[in-house]
Amino acid sequence: MCMYCRGKDFVESTTTHVVNLENCLIIIKNVPCMECDQCGETFFNMSVALKLDEIVETAKKMAQELSIIDYKQAA
């Protein structure tokens, strides 16, 4: 069930995940997600959420001001 609109139907989709840290912006494209058919809110399953955390930690170590990463290539 969608936490925002209480919708019950979801479709597989992809989204762009943006993390804005103090000194850098990390953009991760093509992230697999489930999208609420009613309101469009996106949700990640646990394995995708954990992988996103790994990707963000790796990008933070590179200390670039802007990182754009394709999930499919990084996963």
- The predicted-structure confidence for 36-64, as pLDDT tens digits, reads as follows 999 999 999 999 999 999 999 998 888 67
pLDDT at 25 over 80: yes
Give the start-end residues of each E strand in 1-75: 10-20, 25-36, 42-43, 66-70
At 22, give phi and psi (nearest 5°).
-55, -45
- Whether 3 maps to a domain, the answer reads no
Residue 46's domain is classified under what CATH number? Answer: 3.10.20
**Distance (Å, rounded) from C-alpha 38 to C-alpha 61?**
38
Tell me how far apart the alpha carbons of residues 70 and 42 are, in angstroms, rounded to a whole number. 18
Q: Which residues pair with 69 in a beta bridge?
A: 28
Share of the chain above pLDDT 90, in %: 67
Residue range(s) defining the domain that contains residue 16 = 10-74
With CA atoms as reference, report the closest residue to 4 among 28, 37, 30, 53.
Answer: 37
Count of domains for the chain: 1
Residue 35 has a pLDDT of 96
